[in-house]
Amino acid sequence: MKLNILCLYYDIMNLYGEAGNIKVLEYHLKELGIDYNIDKLSNFDIIDFKKYDLVIIGEGSEESRDICLSHLLKYKDDIKKAIDKGVFFLVTGNALGMFGKSLYGKDALNIFDFDVTRSKERISQEIILNNDFGDDIYGFLNHEDIFKVPSNTLFESEGIKYNNFYGTMVLGPILARNPDFLNYFLKNLILHKNKDFEFNEINLKLNKIAYNEFIEFKKTKKFNSNWS
């Protein structure tokens, strides 16, 4: 078995350490002895979405996102087919806005039923979310996008989960900061490729230590009034 992964717009959609998502996946795939290939493509490349098991797109500036959306629009039918077929997508931060019907009045990919408008004030804050994947999700928001979340949310009242598409405004990077969600995501990615694959449990000891120490640090320092 070999997993083919596409890190899309690695050069211009990579704010707030979002490359950490691909790094933590790579680390655990090596640990599990799973063969993989990672392609890093950008707006000057031709993309064949049929080649990949996982596509990752992270946060970028508005200018970068506009460049990427212009590039992606010619692939919107291919993207929809890939999502419907079950290709995994991990789309974080303001990259998620590209997958709605419109983005600040411009045509978007029209994969999901929402329109993105601009917030009067920038949303910049830490966030804690309940979810169905285990421990609370901890992350960070920094964007100006406002849209009505469809019914198929990813976490609590946030993000989008459809088929194997995981879209969230939460940064962090989310897989590196949230071991339970990482465990769920990686196991499902592997088993989707090969439902009979047998592997040892993913070693998340260090991930759990980092997660718990972060929570303790925030509680002690009381930087945020939302923390008890």
Question: In this predicted structure, what is the pLDDT of residue 221?
Answer: 65
Q: Are 8 and 55 in contact (CB under 8 A)?
A: yes
E strands in the chain: 2-8, 35-41, 54-57, 88-92, 102-103, 106-107, 115-129, 137-146, 160-162, 165-168
> Is residue 18 predicted with pLDDT exceeding 50?
yes
Burial of residue 1 (number of CB atoms within 10 Å: 0-12, 13-18, 19+): exposed
Question: In this predicted structure, what is the pLDDT of residue 184?
Answer: 96
Task: For residues 144-159, give the mean pLDDT.
Answer: 87
> Is residue 199 predicted with pLDDT exceeding 80?
no
> Is residue 171 predicted with pLDDT exceeding 60?
yes
What is the model's pTM?
A: 0.92
Question: In this predicted structure, what is the pLDDT of residue 5?
Answer: 98
Task: For residues 111-119, give the mean pLDDT.
Answer: 94
For the chain, the structural domain boundaries read 2-221
Task: For residues 30-59, give the mean pLDDT.
Answer: 96
Class of domain 2-221: alpha beta
Q: Are 72 and 150 in contact (CB under 8 A)?
A: no
Strand order in the sheet with 88-92: 35-41, 2-8, 54-57, 88-92, 165-168, 160-162
Report the percent of the chain where pLDDT is more than 90.
Answer: 75
∠63-68-74 over CA atoms, to 5°? Answer: 140
pLDDT tens string 131-142: 889 999 999 999
Task: For residues 157-184, give the mean pLDDT.
Answer: 94
Structure tokens at 66: 């506009």
Question: In this predicted structure, what is the pLDDT of residue 92?
Answer: 96
pLDDT tens string 86-110: 999 999 999 999 999 999 999 999 9
> Is residue 228 predicted with pLDDT exceeding 70?
no
Mean pLDDT for the chain? Answer: 92
Question: In this predicted structure, what is the pLDDT of residue 222?
Answer: 53
Burial of residue 141 (number of CB atoms within 10 Å: 0-12, 13-18, 19+): middle
Strand partners, 128: 138
CA 42 – CA 10 distance, rounded (Å): 7
For 189, the 3-state DSSP assignment is helix
CA 156 – CA 32 distance, rounded (Å): 31
Please report where in the chains the tokens 């019907």 appear, as a residue.
101
The count of C-alpha atoms lying within 13 angstroms of the C-alpha of 143, restricted to the half-sphere facing its C-beta, is 25
Please report where in the chains the tokens 């910049």 appear, as a residue.
124
